[in-house]
Structure 1
Amino acid sequence: MPLRFTKMHGIGNDFVVVDARDGGFDPRPAQVAAIADRHTGVGFDQLLSIEPSPDPSCAFYYGIWNADGSAAGQCGNGVRCVAAWLHRADAIPVDHDTRLLSPSGPVTVRVLPDGRVSVDMGEPQFSPASLPFSAEAAESYELTAGHETIMLRVVSMGNPHAVVEVDDIEDLRWNELAPLLTNHSAFPEGCNIGFVHQLDAGHVELRVHERGSGWTLACGTGACAAAAVLMRAGRLDARALVDLPGGQLQIDWAGPGHRLWMTGPAAFVFEGEIAA
């Protein structure tokens, strides 16, 4: 049977969203990768399924698959698209907190009157074990990849992130270094790698090489991670803007002991079907 889907994006991070509210969606990794192919499939950074929630405190569950067919634990831009999709389907109201279940646990979303979506991304976790990352806990870490030894900070936003502060996020060196870091042996389950440049006390720019998808136009959890490490270091205001190649996100975090909120747009592109 053909698989019906909605193509969406969150500031350029693009998704295939599958309505599986009746259950029964269990794709094979090879099937997901075939749909992700931008020449012979639909093309996406992640595939999202909207399913019944096994947790009665959550309205729906959403599954996440990377473009290579591997499963993912969280996707900040993706959950905004899920919320916007559910709102368009009259399943959740505007300006009301709705609890959804992700592979990493419950997430609260709020569709704003202006069409943007705010997401409670939880409290950032900085312990190496939360990623996991093979190191003793510290503020920052040295890691050698290829011919480079760099300083990075690590944080889990429901998926693993390493954040590298740089003077120029467009430096061509990062194109070679990023895949080496993503698959570094110090990250047993791989890692999303963000290169961040601080513009001022409330504004940064960021590029992210995502585990399982490569370079993307935007990464919501990556924006949360980059902001969180700089906020924790006292370098960034509690409300900050993060510029990514695909657009801008707002991050709000009052610091340790508080939950981090991400706000940004979600856009519908087209509906379609593909041979499953």
Structure 2
Amino acid sequence: MVAFTKGHGTGNDFVIIEDVDGNLDLTPSQVQALCDRNFGVGADGVLRVVRSASLPEGSAALEEEPGAEWFMDYRNADGSIAEMCGNGIRVFVHYLLRSGLASIEPGATVPIGTRAGVRDVIRSENGYQVDLGRWRLAGGEPLARASGLAVARPGLGIDVGNPHVVVALASEDELAGLDLNPTPVLDPAPVGGANVEFVVPGEPLVRDGIGHVRMRVHERGAGETLSCGTGAVASALAVRHWAGARAPHQWRVEVPGGTLGVRMFPAEDGEHVALSGPAQLVYRGEIDLA
């Protein structure tokens, strides 16, 4: 039997497994079984809590930041390995604090190892804020086709530690009419796939100096989810890019599961982007992985 905790960030839900010494070798089929909403616990992905020193991928995190004691080993619901998860890392840190595995002193951060590099997390007014580091335009404008969308639309490739393609829609009706259970088709298809966000800018776009956008997402390896943290960040970056130089650097992104905050700010190595939002633990249990 393996102990687990169920948690979520704005409805993006995860099975959390504490494996501090890295003794558990989760197979893709076990992850799929855990995430199955009919026969398992049910989740968009699995967060394995493991010390960075206890797995090969953690050595790079410790080289980058010796204080990155913990590594977020994130798996998508289909069992595939993902580089980063913006909602997941907030839930991961919330679990560390609630379990007594880590602490955050006032004004301090906790560094977390991920496959996208070390990410610093602090407490915020509505939960936690994570510095996702530098972002970049991924190049190209692939056409996106989705069920319920009459014609293909151009997207914007953005990398925030994992790949995204953001597609602008004309109205709330178009956004509501999408069926994102089938995987949207991108042409050309990015190597390794991508998360695909469909967005509608707010009316007005900027209120009290803060940009507003609504989003739905199909996550690579999980399907449509109620929220995607890195997707919210990519959406805000894309809309700011389209809006031009006078667009704000602070955004509110509405997703089906709630609201997330996005902030762009200068750093020594270039512009960084931060994500803020809530994190909750729902229940604990045990499950037989066999």
TM-score (norm 2): 0.84
CA distance in 2, matches of 1:229, 1:38: 32
Matches within 5 A, 1:42-191: 42-53=41-52, 54=59, 55=62, 56-90=66-100, 91-95=102-106, 96-112=108-124, 114=125, 116-128=127-139, 135=140, 141-143=141-143, 145=145, 148-169=151-172, 171=174, 174-175=178-179, 179-181=183-185, 186-191=189-194
For structure 2, the 5+ residue unaligned runs are 53-58
CA, structure 1 residues 30+108, in 2 after alignment: closer, same or farther (shift >3 Å)?
A: same
CA, structure 1 residues 207+180, in 2 after alignment: closer, same or farther (shift >3 Å)?
A: closer
SS of the equivalent of 1:179 reads coil
CA, structure 1 residues 265+149, in 2 after alignment: closer, same or farther (shift >3 Å)?
A: same
Structure number with the higher strand fraction is: 2
CA, structure 1 residues 63+177, in 2 after alignment: closer, same or farther (shift >3 Å)?
A: closer
Q: Which runs of 4+ in 1 moved over 6 A?
A: none
Q: CA deviation at 1:8?
A: 0.3
CA distance in 2, matches of 1:163, 1:33: 27
Q: CA deviation at 1:258?
A: 1.6
SS of the equivalent of 2:167 reads strand
Kindly provide the amino acid, as one letter, of the partner of residue 167 in structure 1.
A
TM-score (norm 1): 0.88
CA distance in 1, matches of 2:180, 2:96: 39
CA distance in 1, matches of 2:216, 2:144: 20
CA distance in 2, matches of 1:103, 1:258: 20
Superposed CA RMSD in Å reads 2.1
**1:10 touches 1:267 (CA, 8 Å); kept in 2?**
yes
**1:7 touches 1:15 (CA, 8 Å); kept in 2?**
yes
Question: Which moved further from structure 2: 254-263 or 206-215?
Answer: 254-263
- Which residue of 206, 213, 217 maps to 2:226? 217
SS of the equivalent of 1:253 reads strand
Q: Does 1:243 align with 2:254?
A: yes
Kindly provide the amino acid, as one letter, of the partner of residue 264 in structure 1.
G
Matches within 5 A, 1:34-49: 34-49=33-48
CA distance in 2, matches of 1:233, 1:42: 40
CA distance in 2, matches of 1:50, 1:11: 20
Q: CA deviation at 1:253?
A: 0.4
CA distance in 2, matches of 1:122, 1:79: 14
Question: Which moved further from structure 2: 235-244 or 151-160?
Answer: 235-244
**1:64 touches 1:73 (CA, 8 Å); kept in 2?**
yes
**1:84 touches 1:111 (CA, 8 Å); kept in 2?**
no
Q: CA deviation at 1:255?
A: 6.5
Q: Deviations over 1:184-215 (max 9, x none)?
A: 55212111000011101211110011011110
CA distance in 2, matches of 1:178, 1:193: 12
